[in-house]
């Protein structure tokens, strides 16, 4: 088969086939996969392990999902389905609406930190209905505010890239701390002496580390995320004024 005739390696490009099996369904499989990933992380997921949790053999799972890559695609889209999308009632409130979606996406990623390792590896997962629903909503929000569709598309990509960049880094930290068996504060206290020693030759970093020494780590992350998001929205608002 020539390269241009090869089937696309994505669950969304393959016709769905359901067989008569009243207990096991693709939805049931995906929901359990998300639970397994939340509890034990990316490395714990296998078709055999998942089948055991479902009381079914791996062969039964293959009737609904072709392989583990497809299962990850479906799990990622399942997580995106948790994201609440506010109604677009007043175009003048586009910044507040967009901020709600951005904070919601960050919170969703942090609830499922395993997703940080998979967002760049899920092939055509952006064809998943929940991901598409979110993108369509943001495009509509930007259009209602006064952006052209082309500008709305670029603005949506800019905001999404910021949220994913920050949130996946945070999620990777959460996963690392969880693997250590310690709390975030305990892990940070162990790390501080080495960090403070490393920045001795860098006066600005040394001052920042000293200021953050006994602070609330989660609160600092929240503030930093909000600061970056608002500066992006400032830029988009200025662009809207310039083109309006």
* Kind plus residue range of the DSSP H or E element containing 189: helix 184-198
Give 147-198 pLDDT, tens digit per residue: 999 999 999 999 999 999 999 889 888 888 888 788 877 877 888 888 889 9
**pLDDT mean across residues, the chain:** 86
Regarding the domain delimited by 3-79, which CATH topology (the fold level of the hierarchy) does it fall under? Arc Repressor Mutant, subunit A (1.10.10)
Q: What is the dihedral of CA 188, 111, 44, 175, to 10 degrees?
A: -10
Nearest 5°: phi and psi at 105? -65, -45
Q: Does position 202 have pLDDT exceeding 90, yes or no?
A: yes
Predicted TM-score (pTM) of this structure = 0.83
| Domain boundaries defined on the chain | 3-79, 85-243
Q: Does position 125 have pLDDT exceeding 70, yes or no?
A: no
Q: Does position 5 have pLDDT exceeding 90, yes or no?
A: no
Angle subtended at Cα 97 by Cα 96 and Cα 101, rounded to the nearest 5 degrees = 115
Regarding the domain delimited by 85-243, which CATH topology (the fold level of the hierarchy) does it fall under? Tetracycline Repressor; domain 2 (1.10.357)
Q: Are 19 and 13 in contact (CB under 8 A)?
A: no
Question: In the prediction, which pLDDT does 6 show?
Answer: 64
Give the pLDDT band of residue 1 (cuts 50, 70, 90). low
Token digits for 179? 């693997």
- For 172, 214, 233, the CA distances from 227, given in Å and listed in that order, are 21, 21, 10
In whole angstroms, what is the distance from residue 236 CA to residue 230 CA? 10
* Kind plus residue range of the DSSP H or E element containing 74: helix 68-80
């Amino acid at each position: 088969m020539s390269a241009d005739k090869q089937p696309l390696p994505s669950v969304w490009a393959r016709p769905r086939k359901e067989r008569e099996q009243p207990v096991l369904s693709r939805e049931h499989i995906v929901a359990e996969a998300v639970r397994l990933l939340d509890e034990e992380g990316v490395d714990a997921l296998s078709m055999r392990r998942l089948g055991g949790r479902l009381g079914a053999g791996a062969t039964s799972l293959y009737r609904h999902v072709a392989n583990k890559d497809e299962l990850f695609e479906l799990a990622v889209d399942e997580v995106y389905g948790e994201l609440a999308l506010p109604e677009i009632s007043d175009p003048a409130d586009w910044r507040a609406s967009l901020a709600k979606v951005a904070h919601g996406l960050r919170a969703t990623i942090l609830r499922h930190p395993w997703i940080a390792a998979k967002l760049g590896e899920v092939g055509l997962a952006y064809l998943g209905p929940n991901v598409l629903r979110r993108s369509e909503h943001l495009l509509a929000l930007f259009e209602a505010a006064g952006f052209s569709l082309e500008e709305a598309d670029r603005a949506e990509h800019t905001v999404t890239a910021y949220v994913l960049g920050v949130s996946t880094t945070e999620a990777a930290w959460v996963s690392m701390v969880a693997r250590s068996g310690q709390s975030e504060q305990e892990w940070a206290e162990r790390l501080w002496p080495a960090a403070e020693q490393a920045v001795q030759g860098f006066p600005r970093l040394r001052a920042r580390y000293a200021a953050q020494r006994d602070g609330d780590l989660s609160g600092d992350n929240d503030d930093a995320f909000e600061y970056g998001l608002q500066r992006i929205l400032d830029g988009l608002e200025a662009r809207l004024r310039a083109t309006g």
